[in-house]
């Protein structure tokens, strides 16, 4: 069975390793997950030819998570709300789009023992990952939602602000964050990612006002933000669990079967070893 990842520059992706581990765990010998670098003007044709070649489906990454939508016959509710598709399933009647960052984030939150229902949640960053996280937190009954931006007043934020307000959230600046506290803090910025480790988008005085902190970054395993969370007694979770969970969720969509929680947790642990 053939699957893969469509994007523009994919050299550093660790998705093939995660999918290979899933194939081994499910005894799917002979299955493959390939990196499929694609130029923007070839996107539609590439999708069509992958379907014709018998691929079950593909993941989609930067910069195509929005661009693929016009080629799809249907888009799941979450993907439509987020405005991004990261998983496509090829069916006889056409291509169907999903967003497994949403599902993966949810599984990662539950793996760290954090339930957003009735909780005040703060999300750092306003990019694509933040949208999936915000949609999940809103759908899960967060009591309040704040997104923090360096560029709150930039007119490019209008669309994000509309999306956020649609989920009863509010956009604030890092200065305004100094007056806030909450339960769950989620980093959706690249700050602290390898090789620029040892940095965080917020300081310890902010982190200690929360009871749980999740960082979407998966390299390093413990970012500076998570280190601050750990030493202050917060529940912590890193991005590798989310990355593994979103890969497993994509396999579930393609294979129409459930991947057991223990398989997923073991793979996430192996990926962090
Ligand atoms: P992105 O589109 O580049 O957005 C990141 C956001 O972070 C930007 O909108 C920006 O918001 C903020 N930001 C960027 N540079 C910053 C800086 N130097 N200081 C403070 N804020 C900064 O990235 P993305 O695709 O949303 O991904 C965000 C992070 O999540 C990345 O590290 C990515 O690797 C990770 N991720 C992980 C998973 C997973 O499965 N674990 C999945 C998706 C993404 P403002 O301009 O509004 O401040």
DSSP string, the chain: -EEEEEES--TT--HHHHHHHHHHHTT-TT-EEEEEE--GGGHHHHHHHHHHTTEEEEEE-TT-TTTTGGG-SEE-HHHHHHT---EEEEETTEEEEE-HHHHHHHHHHHHTT---TT-EEEEE--SHHHHHHHHHHHHTT-SEEEEEETTTT-GGGHHHHHHHHHTTEEEEEHHHHTT---SEEEE-S-TT-TTS-S--SS-HHHHTT-SEEEE---SSSS-HHHHHHHHTT-EEE-HHHHHHHHHHHHHHHHHTSPPPHHHHHHHHHHHH-
Ligand 1 closest atom vs CA 193 = 32
Instruction: Output the residue whose Cα is nearest ligand 1's atom 3.
Output: 127
Note whether 184 and 149 are same-domain residues.
yes
Cα(46) to centroid(ligand 1), Å: 27
Please give the number of the atom of ligand 1 that sits closest to the Cα of 160: 47
108 domain residue, yes or no: no
pLDDT value of residue 189: 97
Q: What is the pLDDT of residues 108-165, one digit of tens each?
A: 999 999 999 999 999 999 999 999 999 999 999 999 999 999 999 898 899 999 999 9
What's the chain's average pLDDT? 96
Bridge partners (DSSP) of residue 87 are: 59, 98
* 233 shares its domain with 247: no
Atom of ligand 1 nearest to the CA of 238: 41
Question: Are 117 and 185 part of one and the same domain?
Answer: yes
In a domain, 105, yes or no: no
**Is the domain of 92 the same as that of 127?**
no
Give the model's confidence band at 12: pLDDT under 50 very low, under 70 low, under 90 confident, else very high. confident
Identify the CATH number of the domain in which residue 135 sits: 3.40.50.720
Residues 73 and 89 in one domain: yes
* Domain, as residue range, for 229: 113-237
65 is catalytic: yes
On whether residue 250 sits in a domain, the answer given is: yes
Number of independent structural domains in the chain? 2
pLDDT of 91 over the 90 cut: yes
Average pLDDT for 61-85: 97
Determine, yes or no, domain membership for 106. Answer: no
CATH number where 68 lies: 3.40.50.10860
Q: Does a structural domain hold residue 103?
A: no
Q: Could you tell me if residue 202 is inside a domain?
A: yes
Q: Quote the pLDDT of residue 98.
A: 98
Q: Are residues 204 and 151 in the same domain?
A: yes
| Residue 159 pLDDT | 92
Are residues 211 and 154 part of one domain?
Answer: yes
Q: What is the mean pLDDT of residues 203-214?
A: 98
Q: Is the CB of 66 under 6 A from ligand 1?
A: no
Is 151 touching ligand 1 by the criterion CB < 6 Å?
A: yes
Distance 49 CA to ligand 1 centre (A): 32
Question: Same domain, yes or no, for 121 and 175?
Answer: yes
In short, whether 9's Cβ falls inside 6 Å of ligand 1 is no
Indicate whether 190 belongs to any domain. Answer: yes
Does the structure show a pLDDT above 90 at 11?
A: no
**Do 212 and 126 fall within a single domain?**
yes
Specify the residue with its C-alpha closest to ligand 1, atom 14. Answer: 189
User: Could you tell me if the CB of 201 is within 6 A of ligand 1?
Assistant: yes
Tell whether 119 and 169 lie within a shared domain.
Answer: yes
d(CA 45, CA 43) in angstroms, rounded, equals 6
154 and 187 both lie in a single domain = yes
What is the CA(7)–ligand 1 centre distance, in A? 17
Percentage of residues in the chain having pLDDT higher than 90:
96
Nearest-CA residue for ligand 1 atom 20 is: 201
127 CA to centre of ligand 1 in angstroms: 6
Residue 121 sits in the same domain as residue 219: yes
Top mutation candidate among 7, 127, 169 for ligand 1, by most atoms within 8 Å of CB: 127
Specify the pTM: 0.95
Going by pLDDT thresholds of 50, 70 and 90, the confidence category of residue 273 is confident
């Amino acid at each position: 069975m053939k699957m893969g990842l469509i994007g523009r520059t994919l050299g550093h992706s660790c998705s093939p390793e995660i999918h290979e581990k899933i194939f081994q765990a499910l005894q799917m010998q002979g299955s493959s997950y390939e990196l499929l670098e694609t130029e923007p003007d070839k996107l539609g044709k590439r999708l069509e030819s992958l379907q014709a070649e018998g691929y079950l489906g593909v993941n989609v990454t930067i910069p195509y998570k929005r661009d693929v939508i016009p080629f799809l016959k249907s888009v799941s509710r979450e993907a439509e709300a987020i405005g991004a598709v990261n998983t496509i399933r090829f069916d006889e009647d056409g291509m169907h789009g999903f967003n497994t960052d949403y599902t993966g984030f949810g599984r990662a939150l539950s793996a760290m023992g954090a339930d957003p229902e009735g909780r005040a949640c703060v999300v750092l960053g306003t990019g694509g990952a933040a949208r999936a996280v915000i949609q999940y937190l809103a759908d899960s009954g967060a009591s309040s939602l704040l997104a923090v931006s360096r560029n709150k007043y930039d007119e490019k934020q209008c669309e994000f602000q509309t999306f956020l307000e649609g989920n009863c959230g509010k956009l604030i600046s890092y200065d305004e964050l100094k007056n806030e506290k909450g339960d769950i803090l989620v980093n959706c910025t690249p700050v602290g990612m390898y090789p620029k480790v040892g940095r965080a988008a917020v300081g310890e005085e902010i982190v200690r006002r929360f009871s749980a902190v999740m960082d979407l970054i998966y390299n390093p395993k413990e970012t500076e933000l998570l280190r601050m969370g750990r030493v202050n007694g917060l529940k912590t979770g890193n991005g590798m669990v989310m990355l593994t969970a979103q890969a497993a969720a994509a396999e579930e969509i393609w294979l129409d079967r459930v991947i057991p929680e223990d398989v997923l947790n073991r793979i996430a642990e192996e990926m962090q070893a």
